[in-house]
C-alpha cells in the first residue's frame, strides 16, 4: 500500500483551499496517510544549529531533545512513498509554518550531506504533489517565489519528482480556481 505524507501549512486550517485540495489529492491517490500540520512547528535557532552540527555520538541529552522533532519529521519523509504538500502563497512565498518544516527537515548528515561534488540529497527518490493556491500569483510567474523555492529545497534533500496542482486567482474567482485544480487532480495517476 502506498504510504502518503500529507503536509498542511495554512493558518486557515480546514477552511484553507490547500487543505481542501490535499484532502482531494490523497483521496484520489489512495493509500496509508500520515498528516503533518506544520502550524505548530517551532523555528530553528542557534541551539538547534549547534545540536545539528554536533556529531550524533557527541550530542548531549539536551541536544538530542532539541533535534527530536526534526528526527520525527525526517523519518516521516523516509517512511513515505509520496508527499502531498499544501502550499498556500502568502506575500509571494511559502507560509512561515511550511518554512519552519523545511528548516527542520534540512539537516546535514540526515537529509543531505556535503561531498567534493557539492551537496547530495539523502531522502529521494520520492514523488511530491504540491497543492499550490494563491489569491492572484500565477504558479511559475516572476512573482511566484514559492514554487521555485520548494523545488530547490526538495531537490537539495534528494527529491526531484515534484508536480503542482494549482488553484490560481482564488481572490478573483475562487470557484473557477478550484474547478481548474479539481480537473488537475482528476488527471493525477494513482
- Kindly give, in sequence order, each residue whose CB lies less than 8 Å from that of residue 148, ignoring residues fewer than 6 positions away: none
- Please give the residue range of the domain that contains residue 13: 3-186
The grid coordinates of residue 86 equal: 499544501
Q: In the β-sheet with 127-133, what is the strand arrangement from edge to edge?
A: 32-37, 3-8, 82-88, 127-133, 161-167
Query: Residues 31-47, buried b or exposed e (16+ Cβ, 10 A)?
Result: eebebbbbbebeebeee
10 is in an annotated binding site: yes
pLDDT tens-digit readout, 148-190: 999 999 999 999 999 999 999 999 999 999 999 999 999 998 6
Query: Given this model, what pLDDT does residue 14 score?
Result: 85
Q: How confident is the model at residue 124 (pLDDT cuts 50, 70, 90)?
A: very high
Query: Which CATH number do you get for residue 8?
Result: 3.40.50.360
pLDDT exceeds cutoff 80 at 9 = yes
pLDDT exceeds cutoff 80 at 99 = yes
pLDDT exceeds cutoff 90 at 13 = no
How many residues can be counted in the chain? 190
> What is the reported pTM?
0.96
pLDDT exceeds cutoff 90 at 54 = yes
The grid coordinates of residue 128 equal: 511530491
Q: What are the backbone angles phi and psi of residue 67, rounded to the nearest 5°?
A: -95, 0
Contact 103, 45 (CB under 8 A): no
CB atoms within 10 A of CB 132: 27
Residue-averaged pLDDT of the chain: 96
How many degrees, rounded to 5, is the angle at CA 92 between CA 90 and CA 95?
Answer: 35
Q: How confident is the model at residue 109 (pLDDT cuts 50, 70, 90)?
A: very high
Average pLDDT over residues 75-80: 98
Nearest to residue 86, comparing CAs of 123, 120, 134?
Answer: 134
Query: Given this model, what pLDDT does residue 150 score?
Result: 98
pLDDT exceeds cutoff 90 at 55 = yes
d(CA 190, CA 47): 41
How many distinct structural domains can be found in the chain? Answer: 1
d(CA 176, CA 156): 34
Q: Percentage of the chain surpassing pLDDT 90? A: 97
Amino acid at each position: 500500500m502506498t504510504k502518503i505524507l500529507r503536509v498542511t501549512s495554512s493558518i486557515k486550517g480546514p477552511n484553507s483551499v490547500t487543505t481542501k485540495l490535499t484532502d482531494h489529492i490523497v483521496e484520489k491517490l489512495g493509500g496509508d496517510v500520515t498528516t503533518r500540520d506544520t502550524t505548530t512547528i517551532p523555528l530553528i535557532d542557534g541551539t538547534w544549529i549547534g545540536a545539528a552540527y554536533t556529531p550524533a555520538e557527541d550530542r548531549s541529552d539536551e541536544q538530542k531533545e532539541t533535534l527530536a522533532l526534526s528526527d520525527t519529521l525526517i523519518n516521516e519523509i523516509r517512511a513515505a512513498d509520496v508527499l502531498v504538500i499544501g502550499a498556500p502563497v502568502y506575500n509571494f512565498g511559502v507560509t512561515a509554518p511550511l518554512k519552519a518544516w523545511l528548516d527542520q527537515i534540512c539537516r546535514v548528515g540526515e537529509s543531505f550531506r556535503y561531498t567534493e561534488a557539492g551537496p547530495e540529497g539523502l531522502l529521494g527518490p520520492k514523488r511530491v504533489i504540491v497543492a499550490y493556491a494563491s489569491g492572484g500569483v500565477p504558479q511559475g510567474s516572476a512573482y511566484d517565489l514559492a514554487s521555485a523555492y520548494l523545488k530547490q529545497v526538495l531537490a537539495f534533500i534528494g527529491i526531484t519528482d515534484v508536480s503542482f496542482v494549482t488553484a490560481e486567482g482564488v481572490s478573483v474567482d475562487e470557484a473557477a480556481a478550484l474547478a481548474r485544480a479539481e480537473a488537475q487532480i482528476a488527471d493525477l495517476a494513482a
